[in-house]
Structure 1
């Protein structure tokens, strides 16, 4: 016979409602009482009846995440951090790498409480739904129906150019990234770079804007090789992502140029792996742990307060100075 809440209450010497609150991590139960109840429940081999809980609470305590790709290190790191954050809560997470319509339909069948959507290569207009949906991406008209956590690419590019120009003296700055019109996050970086250069009164040579046509290591490698074919080299490069910048570093070294003495590099993204590259990479972006914490906090707030109006939560990018940038040679 399975162990019930009543059995636990009898052994722990508390009421049924106190056991229920403790098992659901309610702040209304004193920590000492909660710990005692949890200990008794574990010793008795209690297993929660999720089906019964769902009937009472109308919740599954499951969050769905639509993952755009399993190939890129940055997204894998972000998803891992999101999973770690969710484990600190009463919720669980399931992933889908299917197209958005198929993912939403699957999550509907699973009756998830809310959905996190990575806004990359969205080729359909997502209509308002009764199921809470949080977007991680660019705040624009397309996503006006949903709360958005925006990593603030434009501000990140402004900080990157400001560091290279104001602090280190660079004026010949190139940008290497994916210019795909279907990916608003990548286009926001390009737009932010151009706007930042204009803000500081810096011109951009036509060949200083290189489209990688992709986000992989090899795309960055090919792009910087093309850039360096021109004798007019930049003194600094802003890379559009961690993977792209890894390829940029390899391409520069193969040309027998020194980083940072010949060319400085600063990369978008802010993950711990950037400190362990062959040349520790100066980076700009919202730290991945802070980004994950805000995404999880926001989706749970949305689930538990369904009347919450759509909002834009722009994050603050942070600059991590490492060994890939140096003051311009006079």
Structure 2
């Protein structure tokens, strides 16, 4: 698109970046006098911005010095029902407190750039365990002046953190099944914190760990032959009497597999799923026992940190909290039928 044509539409950083042949992060640094931009590149970007009349229409430049009544939500890996419930609940509860929400599904560095552009100084950022910030993200983080809360297991220097007790959640599931009399419990999921909880839960309840009872889906695909071997084509004394599935993302294909095998819950085995979402009450003929954090409580605690409790902390005092999980017992778990 030619520069003259772009003048007739709302101009974004991407428009300037495309015209200058640089990244949006470089444009942002140039326009905000940030480091790491060559003088010639900065001059070129400024000239293009003037040509496009960017400054008069830029959200960041319209800020009058008053702080916006808004929060930013960054969820770059948005998938699944749990995300949907948390995101909607965050927006609902924020609105009740007089805040509107800006949600970005862009990569973290681009999303934070957008938050900086709009002058948003309170950001909820979901990132899982093991996430590592890019250089571009760290540069945008330096420009960010406000409260950031990292949720989901990751951590960033200079931000508050709310993690989830996933290990404790699976241990609660194991304890519940052990109380019902189950001694052979299988686990379907990834090698993660939840698998650690599974292993520790077995040890604490004096149950034997069998590596064949750990089923790991590959690339999101459920290994149907392994499930069939585990639950059907097996000598009865060695067959598991209960199964824990570590997310609803794995639960859906797992349920498809057991339907093909004509297995029923809890007649053939008890079932516990991680994630407290209302859909788990309707997926089977019986409601599914579930464990995990309540999304309503996650949203409430997050907003408490961003809007009140965290805000009173001196600079450099970042809160690091753990969100407890709950077990909701439903009809998918029962005593084993040996």
Equivalent position of 1:16 in the other structure: none
Equivalent position of 2:163 in the other structure: 150
CA-based RMSD: 2.8
Q: Residue 76 in 1 paired to residue 84 in 2? A: yes
Distance in 2 (alpha carbons) for counterparts of 1:108 and 1:230? 57
Q: Residue 286 in 1 paired to residue 293 in 2? A: yes
Equivalent position of 1:258 in the other structure: 264
Equivalent position of 1:320 in the other structure: 328
1:269 partner SS:
strand
Q: Residue 162 in 1 paired to residue 172 in 2? A: no
Equivalent position of 1:299 in the other structure: 306
Q: 1:106 to 1:171 in 2, by over 3 A?
A: same
Aligned pairs, how many?
Answer: 268
Match of 1:178 among 190, 193, 207: 190
Q: 1:224 to 1:143 in 2, by over 3 A?
A: farther
Q: 1:302 to 1:115 in 2, by over 3 A?
A: farther
Match of 1:195 among 192, 196, 200: 200
Normalised to the residue count of structure 2, the TM-score between the two structures is 0.71
Task: Report if aligned partners of 1:241, 1:268 keep a CA contact under 8 Å in 2.
Answer: yes
Match of 1:208 among 203, 210, 213: 213
1:326 partner SS:
coil
Q: Which runs of 5+ in 2 are unaligned?
A: 1-58
1:267 partner SS:
strand
Distance in 2 (alpha carbons) for counterparts of 1:249 and 1:258? 10
Q: Residue 247 in 1 paired to residue 253 in 2? A: yes
Deviation for aligned residue 1:270: 0.6
Deviation for aligned residue 1:306: 5.6
Report Cα offsets for 1:152-189 as digits up to 9, x if no partner: 111111111000012x111111111123xxxxxxx211
Distance in 2 (alpha carbons) for counterparts of 1:295 and 1:163? 29
Deviation for aligned residue 1:200: 1.6
Deviation for aligned residue 1:82: 0.9
Q: Residue 96 in 1 paired to residue 104 in 2? A: yes
Equivalent position of 1:135 in the other structure: 150
Normalised to the residue count of structure 1, the TM-score between the two structures is 0.73
Distance in 1 (alpha carbons) for counterparts of 2:171 and 2:65? 50
Distance in 2 (alpha carbons) for counterparts of 1:263 and 1:115? 43
Q: 1:224 to 1:85 in 2, by over 3 A?
A: farther
Distance in 2 (alpha carbons) for counterparts of 1:70 and 1:138? 15
Q: 1:229 to 1:256 in 2, by over 3 A?
A: closer
Q: 1:65 to 1:250 in 2, by over 3 A?
A: same
Deviation for aligned residue 1:56: 5.0
